[in-house]
Amino acid sequence: MNVLYASAEVSPFSSSGGLAEVAGSLPLALRTAETDVRVITPLYGLIDYAGHGLVYQFSFRYPHRSGSLDVHVHSVCRQDVRHYFLQCEPWFGAEGTLYLDQARDATRFILFCQLTLACAWELRQRNNWFPDVLHANDWHCALIPFLLSVSRSSPDWASMRSLLTIHNLAYQGHDAGAALYYCGIPTRSQPDLVYQDLDDNLLAIGIASADVLTTVSPRYAAEIQSPELGRGLDGLIRTRSASLHGILNGIDRQHHNPETNCHLAARYGAVEFSLSRCINRKDLQRRHGLDCERRVPLVAMVGRLDVQKGLHLALPVMRRLLTRDALQFISLGSGDPRFHHELALMAGQWPECVAVQHDFDSALASQIYSGSDLFLMPSLFEPCGIGQLLAMRYGSLPLVRETGGLADTVVNYDDGRGSRGTGFVFGWSETEALAHTLEWAIRTWHKRPTAWRRMQERAMKQDFGWDKSARATKELYRDVLISEVHP
Ligand code: GLC
């Protein structure tokens, strides 16, 4: 089976977060002798061409509505998975950031979808390779299923199927009408789109056209069918609920491994870890100017500083607990200036208890996972979340809100001897709910060290690798290939 996997971001080439992580690792896990998965992504100007060993492959001319475009295809093979990079100036090839502005990005990614199909055709002519399944990710690639549905009237494309994965419904590529017109995309007359006034929303077009839909956790698959988290698309998604599957993301367990990670002061496995984690904790405190002698839990946050991640809940609670000298806090990540400002004030007020780093750095992130006691992720919504999986892998217990992938991956402590639980979970997105749960976790840390240790052990032993997701995804590919096309 041949699969062409399209994503706007693919780690390690281009990344702004979780999408890139997934696109950089799921295809590698899917690759077998029978499944030839190939990845396709834009060649942004910022990609380190020589550093990643990219090589020029071929060029073709694309007859665009605005004139003919020259497309250059470059590629590299990563762990047996071929990656294609499309260069098409002025749209892709010279930019210093992945995304520009809404209007230009709509045009750029519609074009990327058109070029992906064109490139598939070129691969068939040149290399005798043609996909059976087109796997598109998020709004950037969401037009691919639609373009395929239009092409299927030709026998060459008739047996191809499409799958669309939603990583985050908050980004939809809405108001793309002008860009669609500019790119010469025919009328989107699918009744569900028309009646719901969504025919210029790229993600909606993808949802209405894909043969199968997936999202990145079972809980999020249910949540996006409700008005609260459906972001205006819940009605449309409900029309597709029989074709929607929640498949949990994984993490690369080889890469994120406390036994082999060379950035840690001390390495450890899931059985003997207390001493090593203690060394890592001291190392982290020392490097970031935190007082090593304080007998309080070290609480960490790693990720974008924005409202989705629940910063507006976390920071007032932190402030309150810092006043009572109840914890130390380390934050890694950047985002909304108002949270930068608040964090700077806190670090100024409690220099021995608060450390703030804005520039993301994966070595530092792993030092934080392996040296902190608690990992805070009070997200308002979270399609899957990766931070909590990494924190558990390294033995930092997650404290999360019960939503999306957080609800599917963290088991609440039973308040007993620690025979159940891998972290702490709260329900309402309110400061008081978070405050109570954090106080409960801090009490547990002080009073029940054995229960804490057992939870860490259980958290570290869980298998959140890619195998299960890859198996489920392949099953979907197989099912969709033998099923009727979506009308
Ligand atoms: C998005 C979501 C995140 C998910 C990631 C990968 O970034 O916000 O929850 O883990 O995509 O699917």
Q: For the segment 152-193, what is each residue's pLDDT rounded down to a tens digit?
A: 999 999 999 999 999 999 999 999 999 999 999 977 778 888
Same domain (yes/no): 245, 391: no
Nearest CA to ligand 1 atom 12: 167
Q: How far is the CA of 416 from the centre of ligand 1 (A)?
A: 32
Same domain (yes/no): 320, 438: yes
Is the C-beta atom of 27 inside 6 A of ligand 1?
Answer: no
Instruction: Choose which residue among 249, 304, 473 to substitute to test ligand 1 binding: the one with the highest number of ligand atoms within 8 A of its C-beta.
Output: 249
Q: With residue 354 as reference, give the H or E element that holds it.
A: strand 354-357
Same domain (yes/no): 334, 369: yes
How many residues does the structure list for the chain?
Answer: 487
Is the C-beta atom of 249 inside 6 A of ligand 1?
Answer: yes
Is the C-beta atom of 246 inside 6 A of ligand 1?
Answer: no
Same domain (yes/no): 7, 127: yes
Q: What is the mean pLDDT of residues 7-30?
A: 95
CA gap 86, 112 in Å, rounded = 8
Is the C-beta atom of 18 inside 6 A of ligand 1?
Answer: yes
Tens digits of per-residue pLDDT, 62-119?
999 888 999 999 999 999 999 999 999 999 999 999 999 999 999 999 999 999 999 9
Task: Enter the pTM of the model.
Answer: 0.95
Q: What is the mean pLDDT of residues 26-45?
A: 97
257 lies in some domain: no
Q: What is the mean pLDDT of residues 361-372?
A: 96
Same domain (yes/no): 118, 89: yes
- Listed in sequence order, the DSSP H helices in 135-195 are 143-151, 177-182, 191-195
Q: How far is the CA of 307 from the centre of ligand 1 (A)?
A: 15
Contact 367, 283 (CB under 8 A): yes
Is the C-beta atom of 168 inside 6 A of ligand 1?
Answer: yes
Same domain (yes/no): 108, 200: yes
456 lies in some domain: yes
Per-residue pLDDT at 467 exceeds 80 = yes
Same domain (yes/no): 435, 477: no
pLDDT number for residue 258 = 98
Same domain (yes/no): 329, 409: yes
Nearest to 446 by CA among 351, 335, 354, 327: 327
Percent of the chain, pLDDT > 70?
Answer: 100
Same domain (yes/no): 430, 476: no
CA gap 113, 120 in Å, rounded = 11
Same domain (yes/no): 280, 218: no
255 lies in some domain: no
Same domain (yes/no): 285, 174: no
Count the alpha carbons within 13 Å of 325 in the hemisphere toward its beta carbon.
5
Per-residue pLDDT at 436 exceeds 90 = yes
15 lies in some domain: yes
Domain of 358, CATH number, reads 3.40.50.2000
- Give the range of the structural domain holding residue 232, as residue numbers without chain letter: 2-250+467-482
264 lies in some domain: no
Number of domains in the chain: 2
Instruction: Choose which residue among 384, 389, 464, 473 to substitute to test ligand 1 binding: the one with the highest number of ligand atoms within 8 A of its C-beta.
Output: 384
Same domain (yes/no): 223, 145: yes
Is the C-beta atom of 176 inside 6 A of ligand 1?
Answer: no
pLDDT number for residue 65 = 86
Nearest atom (ligand 1) to Cα of 220: 9
